[in-house]
Amino acid sequence: MRDVVSRQQTQAPRVARDYGEKRYVQMTNARVLVVEDEPALVETLDYSLRRQGYDVTTAGDGRKALEAARMQTPDLIVLDIMLPGLDGFEVCRILRQEMNVPILMLTARSEEVDKVVGLEMGADDYMTKPFSMRELVARVKALLRRVRIDREEAVATNAAMDVPTERMVFGNLT
């Protein structure tokens, strides 16, 4: 069981990586924290997200998830609800108070009330198990794209506000 926080650094974008027989090209260095206590699913998520070029960190319980999020400042968190120690709802609530990072809940809890509670606690998206890996990757990309666009707009707005004003002088008029 992978209950320790693990992180494997990726190299610069567009570097070919070899994972077994398949080779692929990394296209991003976005950091994703996967919080899941099922080792087989952790391995699958880790592999699939790395294959898309993400820098993946994993945590197997709620307390380790908080520690990893605080230390690593991920760009996105994939969060299970049913975790040892702190459950995913509590982890989401705490993280939402401390940072503004997209949270995608990935859980076996499929009741409407669970989805509503998860979204109200601060999750940005909610997927139920079993799930399609293609859909999960698409949702990760969409959440990260939205964050990137928001950041670019904020930078553009700040740049526009920081335009220095020049003082014009006409003779003795100012």
pLDDT at 20: 41
Q: How confident is the prediction along the chain (174 residues), in pLDDT tens digits per residue?
A: 444 444 444 433 333 344 443 334 444 689 999 999 999 999 999 999 999 999 999 999 999 999 999 999 999 999 999 999 999 999 999 999 999 999 999 999 999 999 999 999 999 999 999 999 999 999 999 999 998 887 777 777 766 666 555 665 666 665
Residue 29 CA to residue 11 CA, distance in Å, equals 8
- CB-based contact 81:109 (threshold 8 Å): yes
- pTM (2 decimals)? 0.75
Would 173 be classed as within a structural domain? no
User: DSSP secondary-structure letter at 168?
Assistant: P
- The pLDDT of residue 131: 96
The pLDDT score that the predictor gives to residue 162 is 60
83 in a structural domain: yes
> With the CA atoms of 109, 116, 119 and 104 taken in that order, what torsion angle do they form, in degrees rounded to the nearest 10?
20
How many domains are there within the chain? 1
pLDDT for the residue 34: 98
* Parent domain of 144: 6-161
CATH number, domain of 124, equals 3.40.50.2300
The predicted structure's pLDDT at residue 149 = 83
